[in-house]
Structure 1
C-alpha cells in the first residue's frame, strides 16, 4: 500500500501547479482505488469508536458526531551529513463524545511525553531512534467543566502505557486562554506534569501569543519549557511563526526557531529556519508535506546544515474533516 501511495504523492506534487479548483490532484484511476479503501476502513474506525463510546457513555453515541480517525503516514527525512531515513507511522484518535462528562476514557497513540526533545518537536522531524512505536496509552481522565477563556481548565489522567511490562502513568494538565484587552492578540497557556513508572517525572509549559493579520494569515510567538527526569536537563525554545493559508487546500508556515538547554548555565544548541508546505492532495483524505529547513547547530560550530522532510499522510474516517492545517 505504501509503495503506491509514494508514487501517488510524487505524481500529485508534480501536478499541483496544473490542478484546477477541484478537490483532488489525483487521476481518476487513483481516486477510484483510494475511495473504497478509505470508506471501508473509515467505517470500521467509526463503528469501533461508537461501540466503545456506547459502552462507557449513552445510546446517543450512535447518532452524535464522532471525530475518531486512523492516520497512516510515510516520510523521508534528509539531514546534511546524516543521510536519508525513511519511516512508516500509524497514529489514531478515539473520540468518545457521550462518555461521562467529567470522567472520560482516553486512548492515545502518540502522547506528548513520547515526542522527544523540544528540538525534535519543534521541527516536526522526529528522528527514527527517538520515535516510540509502543507509546499508546489507555486510561481515564477527570475533566473540569470550565471554560478556559474564563478560568483555568484542569484535568487529571491515570492509566497505563500499552507495552510489556505495562507502564502506569499519572498526569495533570492545566490550560488558560486570555484575550488581551480590546486588541486581536490572544495568549494561551498549556501546562502538564506527568509521571510514568519507567521514565519518571516530566514537566512542560507552553505559552502561545498570536493574532490574525488577515483572513489568510496568522502570526504566533511560542515559548516552550520542558524538563524530563530521564534527561535531567531543562530545555527551552522560542518560535516565531507565520501561517499563511494559500487557498482551501494549501497552506504555508514560515518559522524561525531557537533551541536551548540548562537553567544554571543556559546555552543555545540550535537555530533553524523552516518552511512547511501542506497540500490537501485528495478530498481531505490524502495530505502531502514538504518541509525544508536550514539548521545552525552548536555541535557543528553553528555551520549551516540543510534538512528536508517529505511526508504523506492518509486519514481513515467516516466523515471527512478538512481542517488539518
Structure 2
C-alpha cells in the first residue's frame, strides 16, 4: 500500500529538489485563498485577544497568540463498509495573559468525546460519530511546576455547551523524565473526568521515545481508558516511527494492537498504518493520506483495508508551521 501511495521516484524527487515555493497551489487558487484566510484569521485573532484582555491584562494585544479555527473535509473508506465523508470544524482559543494559575478554557471536541481508543488511535473517527455539541467552557487551575522536575497538575471545571447544560470536573497530571541523561524520554499524561450526563472517565497515556537522527523519531505509546458510560476498559500499544521528509512533508509508520476488558482480556484489532502529511500551502492548507490494514477480531482477524483522505485548513493571523 505504501508503495502505491509513495513510489521511490516521488520520494527521491522530494529529497533531491527542494522547491523554492512554499505552496503547491496554482496562482489563481492562491489569489482566491489568501484574502479569505487573512480575513478569517484576523477575526479569530482579534476575538481571542479581546476575550483574553477581558479576563487577563493589557498585554493581550501584544503577546503571541496561538488561537486558530480549523475546517476539515474527510473521506473514509473501509473494506466491507463503504465510504463516508463529512465536514468538521474545530477551534483553539488561546488566552495567554489570563491569570497564571486560573485560566479560562474554551475548547471544541474535548478528549472525552472522541470515542474509543480504536477510533482515536487510527485517526479515522467519522465526523458523524463525534458529538457536535461537545464544546466546553470552563476554568482551569494550573500549578506552576515544570513537569520535567515534578508532577504538573491542573484542575478544571465548567460546562459542556449543549442543552441541557452538562457540567464537568477534570483533574489532569503530567510528568516528563529524561532517562539516564540519554536520548530516551518518558512522558506520562493522566486524566480523570466527570460529566453530569455521561459519568466518570479515566485515561492514562505513557509515551517513550527518542530521536534516531535529525529527521526520524521513534515512539512507543501505551494508552488505557475507561468510561462509565460503556463500563469497558480499553488499552492499546503502539510502535511509531515518524519521518520528516523535508520542511513540507512527513511520514508516520505505526503498528497498533487494541484490546479490551479487565476480567477477560482480549485483543480486538491489530492494524498497520501509514500517514503521509503534506503542507500544500504556507502552513495553512494540509492534506493527509492514511492507508491502513486491519485484522479485526470480529471478522476472525481476516485482513481489511481502510483509507482516509483529509484536507485541513487553519485560520489565524500569524501562520504557524507546526501542524505536523
Alignment pair present for 1:46 and 2:45: yes
Residues 186-209 of structure 1 show CA distances to partners (whole Å, capped at 9, x for unaligned) of: 000000000000000000000000
Alignment pair present for 1:282 and 2:255: no
Do 2:279 and 2:287's aligned partners in 1 also have CA atoms closer than 8 Å? Answer: yes
For residues 289 and 245 of structure 1, what CA distance do their matches in structure 2 show? 14
Helix, strand or coil at the partner of 1:205: strand
Write the mapping of 1:219-258 to structure 2, written as runs, cut at 5 A.
219-258=218-257
For residues 318 and 268 of structure 1, what CA distance do their matches in structure 2 show? 45
- Per the alignment, residue 3 of structure 2 pairs with none
For residues 299 and 18 of structure 2, what CA distance do their matches in structure 1 show? 42
Do 1:177 and 1:188's aligned partners in 2 also have CA atoms closer than 8 Å? Answer: yes
Residues 218-262 of structure 1 show CA distances to partners (whole Å, capped at 9, x for unaligned) of: 000000000000110100000000000000000000000000000
For residues 217 and 20 of structure 1, what CA distance do their matches in structure 2 show? 21
Do 1:210 and 1:218's aligned partners in 2 also have CA atoms closer than 8 Å? Answer: yes
- Per the alignment, residue 6 of structure 1 pairs with none
Write the mapping of 1:274-313 to structure 2, written as runs, cut at 5 A.
274-313=273-312
Alignment pair present for 1:317 and 2:316: yes
TM-score by length of 1: 0.94
- Per the alignment, residue 203 of structure 2 pairs with 204
Do 1:19 and 1:25's aligned partners in 2 also have CA atoms closer than 8 Å? Answer: no
> What are structure 1's unaligned runs of at least 5 residues?
1-12
Question: Aligned-pair RMSD on alpha carbons?
Answer: 1.3
Runs in 1 of length 4+ with deviation above 6 angstroms?
A: 16-19
> What are structure 2's unaligned runs of at least 5 residues?
1-9
Question: By how many angstroms is 1:21 displaced?
Answer: 3.3
For residues 63 and 90 of structure 1, what CA distance do their matches in structure 2 show? 27
Do 1:259 and 1:271's aligned partners in 2 also have CA atoms closer than 8 Å? Answer: yes
For residues 231 and 296 of structure 2, what CA distance do their matches in structure 1 show? 21
Deviates more, 1:221-230 or 1:125-134: 125-134
Do 1:85 and 1:128's aligned partners in 2 also have CA atoms closer than 8 Å? Answer: no
Helix, strand or coil at the partner of 1:132: coil
Question: By how many angstroms is 1:129 displaced?
Answer: 4.1
For residues 261 and 217 of structure 1, what CA distance do their matches in structure 2 show? 31
Question: By how many angstroms is 1:127 displaced?
Answer: 2.7
Question: By how many angstroms is 1:182 displaced?
Answer: 2.2
For residues 163 and 309 of structure 1, what CA distance do their matches in structure 2 show? 29
Structure 1 residues 128 and 36: CA distance shift in structure 2, 3 A: closer
Residues 86-145 of structure 1 show CA distances to partners (whole Å, capped at 9, x for unaligned) of: 010000000000000000000000100001000000000003442111110000000000
